[in-house]
Amino acid sequence: MKSDDQQEIIIKSLNQISTIDLASLPTPLDEARRLADKIGLSKLFIKRDDLTGLAGGGNKARKLEYDFAEIIKGGYDVVITAGGIQSNHARMTAAAARKLGLDVKLVLGGADFDIPKGNLLLDVLFNAEIRYLVDDDANSSLEKEMQKWADELLNDGRKPFVIPIGGSTALGALGYVKAMQELAAQIESNNVQIIVGVGSCGTFAGTILGAKIFMPEAKVIGVSVSRTVDAIKNRTIELIRECSDLINYKINAEDCSIECYDDYHFEYGIITETGRQAVELAANLEGILLDPIYTGKVMAGLIDLAAKKVI
Ligand SMILES: Cc1ncc(COP(=O)(O)O)c(C=O)c1O
């Protein structure tokens, strides 16, 4: 089959999967000339997914467009999700639930607050009911607590829908397959390197798959904010396999090149010195706000990989 024909078939499959409007798309692609000069790159563009618009924006809006379509279609009345105490995913899920008139429950790894700040303040503003796992905030414990809460709600006659940590399901990852279709239309050549942050792996998996389909010459490079390279590779391959099945795209996920680096974080949520400097640099040279937990670390990785001529 000719690759244009194959792309048409994939686009058709992709468009058949329901979404619900939550994000302002397309997000802009901004050239960052001053930052590129400073770190020794000939060209640097930033895909402004901080401007997706849902309650302050961020990458999760694209994934949630798929999850909430399922939630509305299935007639669920309460959404449960989990994350770190300052989770972007939790904040955006809470906002999406409220926008669609649904109840929302969050399981957060960390201590209850005296004065809520940052995303936690927004979770409270969205009137999410929150359970805090203070002593045991491992992902498996968060998942277990979500399931327990869902069972309690079922017993009370409610219809709960659980969105896994980070919204990183195969369905959610489709949001980033579509984002690559969007990016391909914004960029002259697809012979580029795409640097993306990696937490729960859905964004990375969707970006790799989407690039394979819509920007075949592009190379995707992940920068971890929490997991090891091995853990990322395993989960990303799993998600690529499941996600490609959803759109009937035949690839051998094991053959996908998964290039990622885990040198730019210390422990999830801990601010690093290089991450802090990267946040300052982007603010001072481009007027762009990065955050210290995700995008600051990704920028720190980008700066170092540029210095090492990997990029
Ligand atoms: C701003 C930002 N960038 C990147 C990521 C990583 O995305 P994923 O969890 O899909 O790997 C997250 C996850 O919360 C995020 O909030």
Select the more confidently predicted residue: 21 or 110. Answer: 21
Flag whether pLDDT at 266 surpasses 90: no
Rounded to the nearest integer, the mean pLDDT of the chain is 95
Q: Give the rounded percent of residues in the chain with a pLDDT score beyond 90.
A: 86
Give 81 Cα–ligand 1 centroid separation in angstroms: 15
Is 70 exceeded by the pLDDT of residue 1?
no
- Report, as an integer, the average pLDDT of 148-175: 97
Residue from 203, 204, 220, 227 to probe ligand 1 pocket by mutation (most atoms less than 8 Å from CB):
203
Atom of ligand 1 lying closest to residue 203 CA: 10
pLDDT-wise least confident of 56-60, 128-132, 254-258, 284-288? 254-258
Ligand 1 shell residues, CB under 6 Å: 58-59, 88-89, 166, 168, 197-204, 294-295
Separation of CA 1 from chain center: 32
Cα–Cα distance for residue pair 177/204, rounded to 1 Å: 10
Task: Give pLDDT, residue 2.
Answer: 53
Name the residues annotated as catalytic: 87
CA dist., res. 44 & res. 240, Å (int):
27
Q: Is the pLDDT of residue 256 over 90?
A: no
- State which ligand 1 atom lies nearest to the alpha carbon of 291: 1
Closest ligand 1 atom to Cα of 206: 10
Q: Does residue 276 register a pLDDT over 90? A: yes
Res 296 pLDDT > 90:
yes
- Which of ligand 1's atoms lies nearest the C-alpha of 63? 10
pLDDT of residue 208: 97
Ligand 1 atom having least distance to the Cα of 173: 10
Quickly state the pLDDT bin for 104 (edges 50, 70, 90): very high
Our mutation pick for probing the ligand 1 site, out of 47, 50, 52, 60, counting the most ligand atoms within 8 A of Cβ, is 60
pLDDT at 164 over 60: yes
Name the residue with the closest Cα to ligand 1, atom 2. Answer: 294
Q: Whose CA is nearest to atom 13 of ligand 1?
A: 199
pLDDT at 11: 93
Judge whether residue 22 has pLDDT over 80: yes
Does residue 277 have a pLDDT over 60?
Answer: yes
The rounded Å distance from CA 4 to ligand 1 centre is 31
All structural domains of the chain with their residue ranges: 3-58+169-307, 77-158
Percent of the chain with pLDDT over 70: 99
Smallest Cα–Cα separation from 167: which of 68, 50, 100, 258?
68
What is the CATH class of 3-58+169-307?
A: alpha beta
Cα(58) to centroid(ligand 1), Å:
8
Query: What are the CA-CA distances from residue 304 to residues 18, 133, 195, 206 (Å)?
Result: 40, 35, 12, 25
Cα-to-centroid distance, 157 and ligand 1 (Å):
33
CA of 90 to the centre of ligand 1 (A): 11
Distance 208 CA to ligand 1 centre (A): 15
pLDDT band, very low/low/confident/very high, at 38 (cuts 50, 70, 90): very high
Asked: is 77-158 a CATH 3.40.50.2300 domain? The reply is no
**Does residue 257 register a pLDDT over 60?**
yes
Indicate if the pLDDT at residue 3 is higher than 80: no
Q: What is the mean pLDDT of residues 190-219?
A: 96
Provide the pLDDT for residue 71: 98
Partners of 108 in beta bridges: 83, 132
Residue with CA nearest ligand 1 atom 16: 88
pLDDT band at 139 (very low <50, low <70, confident <90, very high): confident
Q: Is it true that 3-58+169-307 and 77-158 share their CATH fold?
A: yes
Q: How far apart are CA 302 and CA 39, in angstroms?
A: 9
Q: In residues, how long is the chain?
A: 311
Tell me the mean pLDDT in the region 19-42: 98
116-131 confidence digits (pLDDT tens): 899 999 999 999 999 9
What distance in Å separates the CA atoms of residue 147 and residue 68, rounded to the nearest whole number?
Answer: 19
Which residue would you say has higher pLDDT here, 116 or 97? 97
